[in-house]
Amino acid sequence: MLKLTGFAQENQEVDDVLTLPFNERQKTRMPATTDNGVTVGVFLPRGQYLRSGMVLAGEAGFKVKVQAAPEILSVVSTDDPLLFARVCYHLGNRHIALQILPGELRYLHDHVLDHMVEGLGLSVRVENLPFEPEAGAYHSHGH
């Protein structure tokens, strides 16, 4: 197993890609398999959060780019800034991981949350997309 223990510059050439869902990108210690079938062990400092585009460095200069895997997401769109803020507030108040884009909000699909959002006046569509939620105000993701 090849150990990945640090970070490299994101604009460098890489040897492989590690495509992971959001749940796995929150772990700092785990076995994984790259897109090309290489078995790796991720051993990073605690408190890190793997974001799409990060490059992990391992033994003998091996570099792996992290990529967000497509996941089943609930997607909400609106041009109404007050309604957008209201929905963000209610989901955030439930500590839901949110990806916030201009006029669009994404979260891991959950029919109960979808029903709440619809009750607030927005339509929800379900899509299979990469998920890159906000890191949070107190979360360190520097390296």
Check residue 88 and give its pLDDT.
95
Helices assigned H by DSSP within the chain: 22-25, 81-92, 111-119
d(CA 83, CA 78): 8
Phi and psi, residue 114, nearest 5°: -60, -45
Check residue 143 and give its pLDDT.
45
Q: Please report the domains of the chain, with CATH numbers, ordered by start residue.
A: 2-68 (2.60.260.20), 70-130 (3.30.70.790)
Check residue 141 and give its pLDDT.
47
CB atoms within 10 A of CB 51: 15
Average pLDDT over residues 33-57: 93
pTM: 0.85
d(CA 35, CA 5): 19
